[in-house]
Chain A
Amino acid sequence: MRVVFSGCKMFLFFSLILGTACGANADMAREESSKKQQLTIYAAASLIEAFNELGETFENSHPNIDVVISFAGSQQIAQQLSQGAPGDLFASANEIQMKNVINSDRVKSSAVKVFIHNQLELIVPGDNPGKITDFEDITKSGLKVILADESVPVGAYTQQMLDRANQQADLDRDFKSKVISNVVSYEENVRSVLTKIILGEADAGIVYMSDAFGIPETDLRMLAIPGDINVSASYFIAPLVDSPQEGLAKEFISLVLSPAGQEILSNHGFVRIDDRK
């Protein structure tokens, strides 16, 4: 029997635990260093690794500041903020949730900035059972493909991308319908697409580049989706209007937008704002 928890799966498992433990850590840190000034950030779940690193960088250059980050799904955060959760900053994985927070008057629309992009990527299991070597291979009949459901942002982006593929002269005219006929499941979140591909339950899937980033090639292989059909998902950041320390919040945003901040984000699989075509 194959060892079920190989290195990468362990990694996924621990990152999950770390992810959920973050909130608790943040609370403990808050009590320990109550004398320090705090910067409270709400960030989309997909930003966990990158924003933890950015938080540390910020603390290093601001010794008297304690960065507290709360990670959750953007729609959950938007809801919390609309209910009046106190804080300084919001980083959203899509525009809709940022708009919801603008509508509840917690963020000024003029202050919102795009700070990073994410792209779609084709993923196949490490042993590549479908023998997929190229993006176009996902139309081969008999393959098993898993996509995210359209209700999930990445699923909606995937449909957009497939629509674009249909209009490409060098791709099959029925590209989309061929891919759709290979789909065996529409998953209800992007991480479950990732896990099922790593487990080898299907031949190919489509996820965000940042999700698949850093997983060893023995477990997962990534294949690029051509730039002219790929869809770019933009992430938005803004200070909260009632932040007691707006200056600090703005400094953090500057860090995120700075070359150093963009470098950290791109190290976690995101696409810099100036790199986009």
Chain B
Amino acid sequence: MTVNREGFNQSQPVPVPRTKISGIWRLFSLPMLFFLSIPIIAIFLRISPAHLVENLRQPQVLQAVGLSLVTTMISTLIIILAGTPLAFSHSRGQYRLSRVVDTLIDLPLVLPPAVAGVALLIAFGRQGILGRYLADFGMQIAFTPLAVIIVQVFVAAPFYIKSASLAFANIDQELEHSAALDGANSPQIFRYLTVPLSWSALLGGSVMSWARALGEFGATIIFAGNFPGRTQTMPLAIYIGFEIDLDIALTLSVILILLSFLALFVAKFILNRDWMSG
């Protein structure tokens, strides 16, 4: 059920009557389900809860978790603040470059992380086309937490922007017109009409972006480097830990799986079928 917070009458999805499917479909769906869940189960079986709690106290683990949480919060906030105007303007009207913009927004989703990392290094690195001017002002980006945030914004923004722009586009523009006729100005319409109507998609998109940022690895290790407490996020600590201390890698993997599962679950709950499973 869609929870309607602001009292606007959102169109409820028409419930499709479920047809009963034969048990044979269920039976044949088991192998894939088993395959998808076995690696997750394996990780949880490999490490005992007592061990897990003990490893949680390791400074390397705490640093990685802390850095990941702080950087992903900031990058998600940036994505929302800077992504919303883009999503809104993109959702309104077909302008000439609309296809190009749409593709640009999609691009980070399909780029290999290594490409994103190299591209960001060439752009914002010390010798990069922008980075060299920033360096003149004494601003160094590569190898700092800022680099981690930049990577996360780059790879994760599309999730929020796409979700938001889809929701904005689905709003009945008649509503906005009548609100305007009643004397509401543009910021008011956005605040009291557009945002409440697309609330679930905005929140769901933010959670998806956050989860993607949390899991970012390839571009981070290339652009931000690897330094414990500064740029070593959870995925990096897992990768490095795999070669030195498997326990640390396993502990962080468990935390990451739990957080991702929670995020996806919450996102699905918020979106309530109207976006994820279309």
Which residue of the partner chain A has the closest CB to B231?
A: A185
Asked whether any CB of chain B lies closer than 8 Å to the CB of A150, the reply is yes
CB distance from A221 to the nearest CB of B (A): 16
Q: Which of B128-168 contact A (CB under 8 A)?
A: 129, 140, 142-143
Given contacts A185-B226, A201-B142, 17 further A-B contacts (CB under 8 A): A1-B129, A129-B126, A144-B143, A150-B244, A151-B240, A151-B244, A184-B143, A184-B227, A184-B230, A186-B240, A188-B226, A188-B239, A192-B222, A200-B125, A201-B121, A201-B126, A201-B143
CA distance A187 to B122 in the complex (A): 18
> Inside 8 A of A144's CB, which chain B residues have their CB?
140, 143
Asked whether any CB of chain A lies closer than 8 Å to the CB of B225, the reply is yes
Known pairs A2-B127, A200-B127; A186 contacts B226 (CB<8 A) = yes
CA distance A129 to B125 in the complex (A): 14
CA distance A150 to B244 in the complex (A): 8
CA distance A186 to B231 in the complex (A): 10
> Inside 8 A of B221's CB, which chain A residues have their CB?
188
Q: Which of B143, B224, B230, B239 contacts A202 (CB 8 A)?
A: B143
> Inside 8 A of A200's CB, which chain B residues have their CB?
125-127
CA distance A185 to B228 in the complex (A): 9
Residue contact B243 to A151, C-beta cutoff 8 Å? yes
> Inside 8 A of A192's CB, which chain B residues have their CB?
222
> Inside 8 A of A146's CB, which chain B residues have their CB?
225
Residue contact B125 to A199, C-beta cutoff 8 Å? yes
Q: Which of A169-192 contact B (CB under 8 A)?
A: 183-188, 192
| Interface residue tally for chain B (C-beta within 8 Å) | 21
18 contacts between A and B (CB under 8 A): A1-B129, A129-B126, A144-B140, A146-B225, A149-B226, A151-B240, A151-B243, A184-B225, A185-B143, A185-B225, A185-B227, A185-B231, A186-B226, A186-B227, A187-B225, A188-B221, A201-B127, A202-B143
Q: Majority SS of interface residues in chain B?
A: loop
Residue contact A201 to B227, C-beta cutoff 8 Å? no
Asked whether any CB of chain B lies closer than 8 Å to the CB of A4, the reply is yes
> Inside 8 A of A184's CB, which chain B residues have their CB?
142-143, 225, 227, 230
> Inside 8 A of A2's CB, which chain B residues have their CB?
127
CB distance from B217 to the nearest CB of A (A): 11
A-B CB pair tally, cutoff 8 Å: 51
Q: Contact string, A195-219, partner B, CB cutoff 8 A, digits 1/0?
A: 0100111100000000000000000
> Inside 8 A of B143's CB, which chain A residues have their CB?
144, 184-185, 201-202
Residue contact B243 to A199, C-beta cutoff 8 Å? no
Q: Which of A138-179 contact B (CB under 8 A)?
A: 144, 146, 149-151
> Inside 8 A of B122's CB, which chain A residues have their CB?
4
CB distance from A185 to the nearest CB of B (A): 3
Q: Majority SS of interface residues in chain A?
A: loop
Q: Which of B125, B231, B239 contacts A201 (CB 8 A)?
A: B125
Residue contact B127 to A149, C-beta cutoff 8 Å? no
CB distance from A154 to the nearest CB of B (A): 13
- In the A-B complex, the 5 residue pairs with the closest CB atoms: A185-B225, A151-B243, A184-B143, A200-B127, A151-B244
Which residue of the partner chain A has the closest CB to B241?
A: A151
CA distance A164 to B182 in the complex (A): 79
CA distance A187 to B126 in the complex (A): 17
CA distance A185 to B141 in the complex (A): 13
CA distance A4 to B128 in the complex (A): 10
> Inside 8 A of A187's CB, which chain B residues have their CB?
225-226
CB distance from A199 to the nearest CB of B (A): 6
Residue contact B121 to A149, C-beta cutoff 8 Å? no
Residue contact A199 to B121, C-beta cutoff 8 Å? yes
Which residue of the partner chain B has the closest CB to A186?
A: B226
CB distance from B275 to the nearest CB of A (A): 37
> Inside 8 A of A149's CB, which chain B residues have their CB?
226, 240
Q: Which of B214-245 contact A (CB under 8 A)?
A: 221-222, 224-227, 230-231, 239-240, 243-244
Q: Which of B70-121 contact A (CB under 8 A)?
A: 121
Which residue of the partner chain A has the closest CB to B245?
A: A151
Q: Which of B237-257 contact A (CB under 8 A)?
A: 239-240, 243-244
CB distance from A77 to the nearest CB of B (A): 17
> Inside 8 A of B226's CB, which chain A residues have their CB?
149, 185-188
CB distance from B229 to the nearest CB of A (A): 12
CA distance A273 to B31 in the complex (A): 56
Q: Which of B127, B224, B230, B240 contacts A199 (CB 8 A)?
A: B127
CB distance from B231 to the nearest CB of A (A): 7
CB distance from B268 to the nearest CB of A (A): 34
CB distance from B243 to the nearest CB of A (A): 4
Which residue of the partner chain A has the closest CB to B239?
A: A188
Residue of B122, B224, B240 contacting most chain A CB atoms (<10 Å): B240
CA distance A186 to B224 in the complex (A): 11
